[in-house]
Each structure stands twice: as C-alpha cells, then as structure tokens.
Amino acid sequence: MRGKVAVIGAGQIRFGELFEMSLADMVEEAYLNCLNSVDKGIDPKEIKAAWFGQWSGGFIGQGAMCGASLASFIGNLEIPVTRLENGCPTGGDAFRHACLGVASGVYDVALAVGAEKMRDKPSAESLGGAGGGGGAEMGLHPSWMMGMGGPGIQALHATRQMHELGYTMENFARVAVKNHHNGTFCPYAHYQFEVTIERVLGSYIVCWPLHLLDCCPQTDGAAALIVCRAELAKKYTDKPVYVMGSNIGIDHKNLWDRSSFVEQLSTVRAARGAHAMAGIKPSDVDFAELHDCFTNTELMNIEDVGFARKGEAAGMLMNGEFDLDGRLPINPSGGLKAHGHPIGATGVGQLCEVFWQLREQADKRQVKLTNGIGTQHNVGGDAFGVAAYNILSRSI
Amino acid sequence: MSQAPAPASPVYWRLNTGVYRLIGIKCNDCGHITYPVKKICPECGSLNVEEYKLSRSGTVHTYCVQWAPPPGFEAPIVPIIVDMDGGGRYQGILTEVTSPEAVKIGDKVEMVFRKVMTDRGLNVYGYKFRLVEEE
C-alpha cells in the first residue's frame, strides 16, 4: 500500500441537523464538492469503482442502503459499488477499501463516500438504534446489555481511567474545550461555539462520569474522497496527498472479554500495523484526527495510537500540547465532539480534513507541518472492537 | 423501535444456560474464561476449551450510571463490569444503587435473581448484582 495510492479530491457538506436534506441530497452535494475539488478536473466516468460507507442501514429509518443506492445518487451505474458497514470505523474502512482497489492494480481511480442520516429520529431512538436497548439485536441478553450503547461503554472506560490513571472530569472537559475551539474555525463543523470547563461540568449527566458536553452530537452528514494510482496523481493535481498506511485493528466483540478498560487494543493494533506499513514512528506524525466520540476516548486514543504513554495524555493535554498551536494538534477539524459524528461519513470527513491540512488549505485552523504527515482514526463497533487508522503524507 | 427485544425470541431461549446456569467456557491453552458456551476460544483460537461454571460473586472492575437509557428503560441503570471470584469477567447491572457515590471500584458484589425488564406484558428475568453488606 505504501505510496501506491494518492488522494486527489476531497469534499464534504457542513455536518449538522439537516432536516431539509435526504441522505441522497447529502451524498450528491458531498460528491459534487469532491469532484469540483480536483484541481485539474476529472471526468466522473474516470471513476472505476466505489465504496459506500453507510453504517445504520435501516436502523434509523432511512431505508436499507446498498451499492445501488450510491450508484443511483451519483448517476454512475456502470461501475461496481459496494456498501460497507464496520461500526464507527465504517468511513475509515470505506476509504481503505477504495485504496486497496487501487493498490491492487484493478482500478486506476476509485471513490469512497460516507453518509449518515441520524437526526430524522429523536436522539434517544437514534441512540437506541446505535447499539443499545436490550441487546437482542446483538444476540445478547438484557441482563448483560441493558442500557448499554456508546455512552455506557465509554463511561465504563472513563470510570476506570479516573481510578487507574488518576484522570479527572476536568481533564475530560478540557478535551471538549479544545475541540469546540477548533470547531469554531471549521466551516463544516456541526457545532461552532466555544465551551468552558465549567459549562461542560455543569451540563446534564448523560452517563456518569460523562456529561452531555463530553459526548459528540448525533449528526447528519456526508463526505467523499477520490483516490488514484500514485503515478497518475499529477494528471489531476500538482498537490496530491499520498496514502502511506491503512489498517483495521480488531479486539473482542464482547466487553467482558476485553483485557483492559483504559486501553482499546483495536486502536493499538490498527495504529501499530499502519505505522509499520508506512515505515514511520508515531513521533513522525504532525497532527491527527482521532475518534473523540466522548472526551475520555480522545485521551485513550492518544495513548493507544502511540502519541503518549498510558497515563500521560491528560497532563500533556492540560499543558496545551494537543492544541491547534501545540506540539501535536489533535482534531483540528473540531473532532467528532464539535465537527459531529454522522457515523458512515465521520472517517471520510476526517480524511478530508487531513487532506486539506496537508495541502495547507485549512485557513484559520491550519496546523504547522514539519514532516508533512497526518493521520486519521476511528474506533467503535461492538465493544469498540474495530478501529481504523489511515496515514497520509504530502510526499512519498 | 428496531432494537426492541422480544422475550419469546429464540435469541433468549438459546442463551438460557449461559444466563441462568452461568455456564461458560475456560480455555485450557490460554486460560481465558468467557460466556456463553462456544467451541473456539475467542482470545486465542484454541479448540481446547471446556465448560466452566462462573462464580456468582466478585468485585467491581468498573461501572457507570446511565441516566439516558434507550426508550422503554427506566433511569438510572448502573452497568458494571465484575472481576469474578475464580476468574473471568462478567457484564451486568448493579441493583439497589442509583448514585456513583454509593459504589466504588473493588467493592464486593454478588448475583441476585431479578426481573430485568418487561416487554409487551412479559417479564424477562436474569441476574443482577448487589453490593455485599460488610460485616
């Protein structure tokens, strides 16, 4: 994979509560933005395959999605299109598959699209659709799974981080302060307002120890990326971004099989494999988009991908090291926390941000580049047992 | 609601021995203990596994207090992960507790038989955990 694939176009829509837009409307706009972003232009017919990251299918009432859905949305019925679902890493994995399609030599140009419509149902139902309830949909019993779902699973980690690592609710809240601040500079972010530690800690408790403002929102959104064989990249742009590593990491599907609640081995495995593929160390990375579905999760991710030793991320955060102007900016887009988390679109949107940052097109949220390497990460699925990690670079 | 469980579902009938008799497996190669019963150890892939009866008591590994459960569930729910006496972890619900201050990591807990939910007029039973009273 290393250096064989280039990203030549990236487009998304502003994430948010998009009641006026259907899933098809969102995909159309993200796709057109993506096509129009290709500096020297591209004929849509040059796209030879597509992957559609779409997590919820029929869960949230938008109808079950398949390859024909995306093909119809973009008016291209002559190419193979696959819908892919792999938990919260759905978007990151759709991108990985497009890259694999190109790296294999089968397709010169491929498209990855992610989209999710989460706001057509009230929050509680939308969250219930996102893996909670009694557990029957997961083949599990309510005496094991009652009331679980994303917030519950991450709150179980947060309690343990506080106990084992000495982390505090103030530490978690500081992640929200940082990411909301970044979001105010991002025209695509769902939330574009500042929060303070006091406001986070004063917000409603969703699942102790996590407050409402520790949680990412339920968001509608869509994003798209075009990749091609690296040798062809200059035909489309003078500033391509190259894919250096792309990996999926796995851990147990049941929480009770997991070895630790302060570490997610899915992330550890995804990042370790991708860094090896790219031939780089975590310390070579200039900035990262890490999956902050909850504030405590960002701290865990920073450690799990190898940017800090276990137990050190909170101190580094409080010192400002992960701020936009810090040593290693984390989530310049505002992260899931402010940018939003339309599940299938999330990873693709993060990769758009990495693309723009590496091309120095990120305006007021532009980070400083040293090695010209940025990474993208998702973690989720059953018991957060799936993680995606993609490494992009402006040079091979 | 797409996630609505159905008590008469074959899903729950299949889980009976795991849920009510606490039968799981222990891997003779890596030592991993889990439930419900399966032929392949999920940790190491070994087929050298044997049935293992889980303990009914243990200590709290971690917990949270869920104030925003999915529709149809009454808040608060206190999910916990338990380090079981004798080995293995169990995921369940802590009963008789509604605040985070009432429990701490390391507290001793034991299983009690409880109604876990009602769905369309039918009760679903299972084990919950409660704090063990200190002497």
Distance (Å, whole) CA B101 – CA A129 = 30
Identify the pLDDT of residue A311: 98
Closest CA to A221 of A334, A305, A71: A334
pLDDT tens, residue by residue, A247-273? 999 999 999 999 999 999 999 999 999
Min CA distance, B120 vs chain A (Å)?
A: 13
**Would you say residue A347 has pLDDT above 80?**
yes
For residue B18, give how far its alpha carbon lies from the nearest alpha carbon of chain A (Å): 10
pLDDT of res. B1: 37
pLDDT tens-digit series, residues B78-115: 999 999 999 999 999 999 998 999 999 999 999 999 99
Q: Give the catalytic positions of A in this structure.
A: 88, 341
The residue length of chain B stands at 135
**Dihedral pair phi/psi, residue B25, rounded to 5°:** -135, 155
User: According to the model, what pLDDT value does residue A351 have?
Assistant: 98
Taking only the tens place, the pLDDT of each residue in A225-236 is 999 999 999 999
pLDDT of residue A136: 58
Instruction: Using alpha carbons, list the distances in angstroms from residue A129 to A26, A233, B27, B70, B98.
Output: 21, 40, 34, 9, 25
> What is the C-alpha separation between A136 and B119, in angstroms, rounded?
12
Per-residue pLDDT averaged across A137-142, rounded?
A: 73
Tell me what the mean pLDDT of segment A302-315 comes to.
Answer: 98
Q: Which residues contact residue B76 at a Cβ distance below 8 angstroms, ignoring those fewer than 6 apart?
A: B65, B66, B67, B98
The helices-and-strands tally (H runs, E runs) of chain A is 14, 11
Q: What is this structure's pTM?
A: 0.96
Mean pLDDT of chain B: 90
Q: If you measure CA to CA, which chain A residue comes closest to B83? A: A256
Q: How far apart are CA A100 and CA A330, in angstroms?
A: 27
Mean pLDDT within A132-147: 70
Place of tokens 């709290």: B60
- Give the Cα separation of B117 and A146 in Å (integer): 9
Q: Is the pLDDT of residue B2 over 50?
A: no
Of A135, A139, A207, the CB nearest to B67: A207
pLDDT digits 0-9 by tens, B29-87: 999 999 999 999 999 999 999 999 999 999 999 999 999 887 777 889 999 999 999 99
Query: Per-residue pLDDT for B3 more than 60?
Result: no
**Average pLDDT estimate for A169-193:** 98
Q: Which of the pair, B19 or B120, is modelled with greater confidence?
A: B19
- The verdict on a CB contact (< 8 Å) between B79 and A59 is no
Q: Region A269-287: what's the mean pLDDT?
A: 98
pLDDT at A291 over 90: yes
Chain B positions in Cβ-Cβ contact with residue A136 (cut-off 8 Å): 3-6, 9, 11-12
Residue A58: count other Cβ atoms within 10 Å of its Cβ: 11
- Give chain A's mean pLDDT: 94
pLDDT above 60 (res A131): no
Residue type, A250: I
pLDDT at residue A183 greater than cutoff 90: yes
Of A132, A206, A256, the CB nearest to B81: A256
pLDDT at residue A123, as a whole number: 73
* pLDDT (0 to 100) of residue B14: 86
Q: How far is CA A335 from CA A230, A378, B17, B68, B92, in A?
A: 28, 11, 43, 23, 31
What are the tokens at B85?
Answer: 């006496």
Among A137, A142, A254, select the one facing B116 at the smallest CB separation.
Answer: A142
Do A377 and A290 touch, CB atoms closer than 8 A? yes
Q: Which amino acid is located at A336 in the chain?
A: L
CA dist A263 and A297 (Å) reads 9
CB-CB contact of A371 with A121 (8 Å): no
Chain A hits for B79, CB-CB cut-off 8 Å, are: 146-148, 152, 156
What separation in angstroms does the CA of A40 have from each of A99, A334, A363?
Answer: 21, 29, 22
Q: Would the CB atoms of A146 and B79 count as touching at under 8 Å?
A: yes
Beta-carbon separation of A142 and B5 below 8 A:
yes
3-class secondary structure per residue, chain B: CCCCCCCCCHHHHHCHHHHHCCEEEEECCCCCEECCCCCCCCCCCCCCEEEEECCCEEEEEEECEECCCCCCCCCCEEEEEEEECCCCEEEEEECCCCCHHHCCCCCEEEEEEEEEEEECCEEEEEEEEEECCCC
Distance CA A376, CA A387 (A): 10
Mutate which: B91, B104, B118, vs A, most A CBs within 10 A: B91
Q: What is the ipTM of this complex?
A: 0.95
pLDDT tens-digit map of B7-31: 667 778 888 888 999 999 999 999 9
Q: Tell me what pLDDT residue A241 has.
A: 98
8 A C-beta contact, residue A126 and residue A119: yes
Question: Which residues are registered as beta bridge partners of A248?
Answer: A388
A60 confidence band (pLDDT: 50, 70, 90): low
Alpha helices in A104-213 (DSSP H): 123-129, 142-145, 150-165, 169-183, 197-201
pLDDT at A134: 57
